[in-house]
Structure 1
Amino acid sequence: MVICPLVRDCQIGRAANYTVDITEFSKPVNKPAIGPVLGIETSCDETGVALLRWEPEAPGCGLLAHTLYSQIKLHADYGGVVPELASRDHVRKLLPLIREALAEAGLTAQDLGGVAYTAGPGLVGALLVGASAGRALAWALGVPAIGVHHMEGHLLAPLLEDNPPEPPFVALLVSGGHSMLVEVKAIGQYTILGDTLDDAAGEAFDKTAKMMGLPYPGGPALAKLAEQGRPGAFRFSRPMTDRPGLDFSFSGLKTQVLLAWQHSDQSEQTRADIARAFEEAIVDTLIIKCRRALQASGAQRLVIAGGVGANRRLRSELAAAAVKDGFQAYFPRLDFCTDNGAMIALAGAIRLASGQHQDASVQVYPRWDLQSLPAA
């Protein structure tokens, strides 16, 4: 497989030099994709591959194979993702994972009806690995291919379950790079109600954990430690809940935690107490904003997706809020909260089935407005 030299040379800081030409994103074809769709996810530090046959009446039954490789050990010594290393590891792991998924499903490449790959947002080098491989495979097989918006993949992940939500609904997308509330009128018809102004929720988890000396990846480590914290030992503000609006800002909360940690005895119990108070502040803020978004949109369904959607406290508190307020909450299973190929296969399969596909060029979008997507 030939990889574009940009995979070797691109750095995070150059991502802003790329622009989105949405007129080239999708073009009609004579008939929808036939056969299983291969989904490829390489936007950051996880290589995900899945095979899915899109069945609108029972989408949860259409998943044929799902494989995932995480680069946690690779980046642990650096305390965060190193883009160059991430790209190189995707190159090493992607083709073996594709072979593994095909074997798991009992298929060959010639059985594929289409290919979907993450085209953005994400690390440009990492994106190019998946996009180049996916586009080349589709061209070789003579099947349609489509670039998928990473956050649309997360947003649609609950449709992989046996009881999927029907639009309209509100989606809370919370991950390391995003914290947003999206009104979904139909697939491809998205309105961003609120977005992060600085640190996303997952980023705040990771940075706070690192600040208190917790191992990488910090978010899950902090959440686990928070279970040992004493309720009420510390309390932090719920950012931007004292004013109207649905935007998020967690940088100030991070500073509060830093000051509390620096002026504490820094014992293990104090570390756990601060972790609990921090997690409670994040979760409370997200729930307050979700309630506001549901009220503003008039929707009765809430979808929770993204890596932070796996947080145990968030899932528990939102489920309780749903019972109390009378709305329906939909959570993807835990392995579909984090980055994975299944959500990309699903989002791509839906668009391919509607007659959309991408031309033969390889295009990736490190920054990509979710609202700019065409309807499916």
Structure 2
Amino acid sequence: MGNFLAGKVIAVTGAGRGIGRAVALACAAEGAKVVVNDYGVSIEGAEPTSDVAEAVVKEIEAGNFGTRGNAGSDTGGAVGGAADRAASGAADRGSGGRGADRDPAVDAGRSGGSRAGGEAVAVADDISTMAGGRRVVETALARYGRIDGVVCVAGILRERMLFNMSEEEWDPVVATHLKGTFTVFRAASAVMRKQGSGTLIGFTSGNHQGSVSQANYSAAKGGIISLVRSAALGLHKYGVTANCVAPVARTRMSANVPMELNEIGDPEDVAALVVYLLSDRAREERITGQVYTIAGPKIAVWAQPRELRSAYADGSWTPERIADFLPGSVGTDPMPMLAQLEAMAQAAAAAKAKAEAEATAAVAVEKAVVVEKAVAVEKQATPEHAATPEKGDNPRPPHGV
């Protein structure tokens, strides 16, 4: 075991599979006591089970920190999603679980310990509820007496084009990702404020830039960035930091991305960044309010929102004046993803035109072959020359002779 997080207590939501699991194991490997939260649902947020959280606790207790794999449910995944799904039901909330009426001290005593490896406790509550978010933090306090960091990875997907998306496909995604981050941040920040220290880490996605068919997911991930920046500003004077991670890693979410990901790593790569952001080393560098991407060998920081350019008018603006003035002065900030979509559309159109041309040529060749065969058959059926008498033969006498 390492000591990067020695003595710290870290809670991780969505920790049953994928990136969440990798983060929980990495924290334990670096000496932290871990609260493993996962409702154990499918990628759409259905079929909950507490088994996945308990399984990670057992891994930590056994000291199995270095195993890769089980891409499973990383619900803080990078980009993309699955095929269109029709899913409904208010109960489909994603990683986090329910059971808010149970005593956290009882659960903490039931699961967790430090046998062959690290210390961990499982919590299978639904973090899209205020009670669920409180229980994650209360369990840490009941079992270990403090909370030094929370990492909110939990989430689900309901992919649908905006014009087809239902309320049942919008609400659970926003509730699990955005509200689920808020509920845990809310409970943890109150404790960290009194402690005078702590770290909040939210999980966003490259999809915060916008998404073709995941407006719910994209909106939630964009909201998480603003929530993290607000937490960084509001809690700075209390010694609490807040940062965001936009990972690109092989998980059951990224496996369904309908385009090739040129830069992609493993959940363990993301976990290394999270461990650093939770550490005193990051605190010493005053890192807060940042959004980082990690994708295999690449690590990057996203720009803070700021004005690009501005212009001023003499007097009041009118629609006509803006129409004449804006395009050539303030202009626009092109959307990288829109340019990518247009390039993909052009490539698809070129490929279609090529395929149609090849198909047309193939039909022409096939017709030529058919005609050639027909001519050959006709030649075989008709003699090329009529019979001609040899020289010296007596011709047939005229009729009547």
Q: TM-score, normalised by structure 2?
A: 0.27
Which structure shows the higher strand fraction? 1
